[in-house]
Amino acid sequence: MNKLNYLLIPTIIILLISNIFLYSNLSKQNSDIKKEQISQNKNLQNLQNLVTFNWKEYQNNEFGFSFKYPEYVNICNELTDSKKKEGIELYLGIRPFGSLDTCNSGDVPTLHIVAKKNINNYKTSEEAFYKEFPDIDRSFNASLGYLEINKADAYGGKIANKITDSHTTRSDAYIVIILRNNYVIEFNDTWYDEIFENRRLGDKPVFDNIISSFYFSS
């Protein structure tokens, strides 16, 4: 019996040491993985900052937001009386090819940023999305989901619209709704694939970089 105890005790000690060593290695591996993920996220953010470093910046103190945009883009105030009647308080047109007087040109595809009071008290940006765009047929949407834009809650993505052939869809719009400071703020690019001629900076289309640079000051 004593001999058995002499054998069991060293075995148990060896197993305990082995488990401690294994746990220590696993903890170190997990820690290294987390550090690598943090490093990758920082690298992606640095790449994003590098991509938009030389861009202009639009700031709106009234609504408390800013975003960056390329040199060849014009920012156009397109708020009209008819838009005001719809409850819209801000209607910005973002038009490419800034060397031209594109603010007065009706044939240039335009990205719009729209802001209006959240009079409906939406609970989520997804709810706001479908109530602000009731004509969107849910059976034809694509690539929609939750987005996080600089820690702001948002919902949107590419929209697949039904065209002439009932069996065909195309993703030709990118719409994002953000709820912030009692406002519904909307990105609405009706010609996502054409407005910036599929231009890419870094690993994103230009339009995506504009959205990613959107920032709330409060």
Question: pLDDT tens digit string along 21-37?
Answer: 666 666 666 666 665 65
Q: What pLDDT score was predicted for residue 209?
A: 82
Q: How far apart are CA 133 and CA 110, in angstroms?
A: 18
Mean pLDDT for all residues in the chain: 76
Residue 79 DSSP label: -
> What is the arithmetic mean of pLDDT over 143-158?
85
Q: Across residues 150-156, what is the average pLDDT?
A: 86
Label residue 193 by pLDDT band (50, 70, 90): low
Distance CA 99, CA 208 (A): 22
Neighbouring residues of 148: CB distance < 8 A, sequence distance ≥ 6: 154
Q: Predicted confidence band at 189 (pLDDT cuts at 50, 70, 90)?
A: confident
Lowest mean pLDDT among 19-23, 61-65, 151-155: 19-23
CB 149 within 8 A of CB 178: yes
- What's the burial of 188, exposed, middle or buried (CB within 10 Å: 0-12/13-18/19+)? buried
**Can you tell me the distance from the alpha carbon of 186 to that of 114, in angstroms, rounded to the nearest whole number?**
5
| Structure tokens given for 118 | 């959240």
The pLDDT value recorded for residue 127 is: 93
Residue 79: the pLDDT is: 93
- Please report the pLDDT score of residue 73 as a whole number: 82
pTM to 2 decimal places: 0.68
| Whole-number pLDDT of residue 48 | 53
Tell me the CB-side half-sphere exposure of residue 26, using CA atoms within 13 A. Answer: 6
Compute the average pLDDT of residues 45-49.
52
